Amino acid sequence: MQKFSSVTGVGVPFRRSNVDTDQIIPAVFLKRVTKTGFDDALFHGWRQDPEFILNQPAYQGARILVAGPDFGTGSSREHAVWALRDFGFDVVLSPRFADIFRGNSGKQGLLAGQVPEADIERIWAELEAEPGREMTVDLETQTVSVGALSIGFDIDAYTRWRLLEGLDDIALTLRNEQAISEFESRRERWRPRTLPVRQSAGAE
């Protein structure tokens, strides 16, 4: 996972609330066998509409999604975060996130920043005044800036630290690599091993 410090890119004024994970990525895409390549699946239903905001030329290559309250509700599928990341988003801002979505985001390098509803309105106004406008989200200082606007956002300290350090769950655990190796060196000989393959004569 990449270390996260600050992102500057096109912001999308996403005037929708209660965006559930079924809308972020419909269930039919869950049959896939990879963890990447979900960019075509993001908001699949809505994207059939040529007027949909992400289909507009101004928002191509957008990196920051500025959404209404209750983003990421519904099923706990991690694919929702994968799809947002694969599409190119590094940040989602919303007044309120579903807990599981927020947890999944932090684990996978997507910044889910909480911004009060009134401030979201102000950001939307800025972005809509000039579609395709760039904005900056700085995790070090916990601020969002667009035009003359500079607004703070909330994120829990632990998730912030993980993002700044670029630590996914596995990398976090591997900080204990030495303890794991020591544990393994003490592991009793009788404990199971799948290799080498053993086949006793009387197996039948």
Partner 1 sequence: MNSTEAKPRTLAEKARTLAEKVWDDHVVVKGENGEPDLIYIDLHLVHEVTSPQAFDGLRVNDRPLRRLDLTIATEDHNTPTLNIDRVIADPTSRLQIDTLRRNAEEFGVRIHSLGDKEQGIVHVVGPQLGLTMPGITVVCGDSHTSTHGAFGSMAFGIGTSEVEHVMATQTLPLKPFKTMAINVEGTLRPGVTAKDIILAVIAKIGTGGGQGYVLEYRGSAIRSLSMDGRMTICNMSIEAGARAGMVAPDQTTFDYVEGRDHAPTGQDWEDAVAYWKTLPTDEGAVFDAEIFIDADELEPFVTWGTNPGQGVSLSEAVPGPDDFDDPHEKVAAQRALEYMDLEAGTPMKDIRVDAVFMGSCTNSRIEDLRAFASIIQGQKKADGVRVMVVPGSARVRLEAEAEGLDQVIKDFGAEWRFAGCSMCLGMNPDQLAPGERCASTSNRNFEGRQGKGGRTHLVSPLVAAATAIRGTLSSPWDLSIDTAFAPAGQQRNQEVQA
Q: Is the dihedral of CA 140, 83, 69, 57 positive or negative?
A: positive
Nearer to partner 1, 15 or 193 (CB): 193
Nearer to partner 1, 78 or 126 (CB): 78
CB of residue 53 to partner 1, shortest distance in Å: 29
Nearer to partner 1, 33 or 118 (CB): 33
d(CA 2, CA 7): 12
Subset of 13-52 contacting partner 1 (CB under 8 A): 31, 33-36
Subset of 59-118 contacting partner 1 (CB under 8 A): 78, 107
User: At a CB cut-off of 8 Å and minimum separation 6, what does 122 contact?
Assistant: 149, 151
d(CA 84, CA 98): 15
| Count, residues near partner 1 per rule CB under 8 A | 35
Nearest CA among 139, 123, 138, 110 for reference residue 11? 123
d(CA 26, CA 23): 6
Q: CB–CB of 21/77 below 8 Å?
A: yes
Instruction: Give the range of 50-58, 92-100, 116-124, 183-191 binding partner 1 by CB under 8 A.
Output: 183-191
Provide the mask over 136-175, with x wherever binding to partner 1 is found by CB under 8 A and - wherever it is not: --------------------------------xxx-xxx-
Instruction: Give the range of 114-122, 131-139, 141-149, 184-192 binding partner 1 by CB under 8 A.
Output: 184-192
d(CA 26, CA 155): 27
Q: CB–CB of 71/96 below 8 Å?
A: yes
Please give the residue ranges that form the binding site for partner 1 (CB under 8 A).
1, 31, 33-36, 78, 107, 168-170, 172-174, 176, 179-180, 183-184, 187-195, 197-200, 202-204
